[in-house]
């Protein structure tokens, strides 16, 4: 058996206008990050079917499991505030303090963790349509047509 999928690697300015806006909102959302333990500031922005965008950032806690990733912060906010709207896409951006200070540093792509992948997959199942995932830095964007690409054999109760 083989599992495979196709994704796209491109410069951020090759994204559609709305996707570029979504990436900018994700990058801006890093300012709302509370990350005193990892110093890894992540922002996520969710595009809804009516064109509105909801963003969130990672929120850490001294009791580590209490913390929440940017993706789930944004996704759960979108689902809570707009439960009837389909989620079209999510963009994820990140910045470490070292990267913020050293402009020549090449930032790593902020791929979602396993918990966020599971959460995105369930959102897809719930709404019945795929959620495009855009993982971005200032230099490049990796675009996945569906969150389920990133989590084959996801848990389902
Ligand atoms: Zn996560």
Q: Is residue 2 part of a domain?
A: no
Note whether residue 156 is domain-resident. Answer: no
Angle between helices 17-29 and 70-81 (to 10 degrees): 110
Residue 33 lies in a domain: yes
Q: Please report the pLDDT score of residue 95 as a whole number.
A: 85
Cα of 150 from ligand 1 centre, angstroms: 12
Ligand 1: distance of its center to the CA of 115 in Å? 5
Looking at residue 7, its pLDDT comes to 98
Residue 20: inside a domain, yes or no? yes
Is residue 133 included in any domain, yes or no? Answer: yes
Among all residues, which ones are annotated catalytic? 71
How many domains does the chain fold into?
1
Token duo for residue 151 = 């989590």
State the distance from the centre of ligand 1 to the C-alpha of 131, rounded, in angstroms: 16
pLDDT in tens, 63-114: 999 999 999 999 999 999 999 999 999 999 998 666 666 656 666 899 999 9
DSSP string for 2-47? ------EEE-GGGS-HHHHHHHHHHHHHGGG-B-TTT-EEEEEEEE
Ligand 1 centre and the CA of 15: distance in Å? 24
Residue 59 lies in a domain: yes
Q: How far is the CA of 118 from the centre of ligand 1 (A)?
A: 9
Residue 121: inside a domain, yes or no?
A: yes
pLDDT of residue 103: 59
Q: Which domain holds residue 135?
A: 8-150
* HEC letters along 74-102: HHHHHHHHCCCCCEEEEEEEEEEHHHHHC
Q: What is the CATH number of the domain that holds 83?
A: 3.40.140.10
Whole-structure pTM value: 0.94
Ion ligand 1: residues, CB < 5 A = 69, 113, 116
Residue 120 DSSP symbol? H
Query: Quick check: is 107 in a domain?
Result: yes
Place of tokens 């491109």: 10
């Amino acid at each position: 058996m083989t599992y495979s999928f196709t994704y796209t690697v491109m410069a951020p300015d090759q994204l559609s206008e709305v996707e570029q806006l979504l990436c900018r909102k994700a990058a801006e959302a890093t300012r709302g990050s509370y990350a005193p333990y990892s110093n890894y500031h992540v922002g996520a922005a969710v595009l809804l079917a009516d064109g509105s965008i909801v963003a969130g950032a990672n929120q850490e806690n001294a009791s580590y499991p209490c913390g929440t990733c940017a993706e789930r912060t944004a996704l759960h906010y979108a689902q809570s505030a707009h439960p009837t709207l389909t989620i079209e896409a999510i963009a994820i951006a990140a910045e470490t303090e070292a990267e913020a200070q050293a402009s020549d540093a090449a930032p790593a792509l902020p791929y979602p963790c396993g918990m966020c992948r599971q959460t995105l997959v369930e959102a897809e199942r719930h709404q019945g349509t795929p959620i495009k995932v855009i993982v971005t830095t200032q230099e490049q964007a990796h675009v996945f047509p569906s969150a389920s690409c990133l989590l084959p054999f996801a848990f389902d109760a």
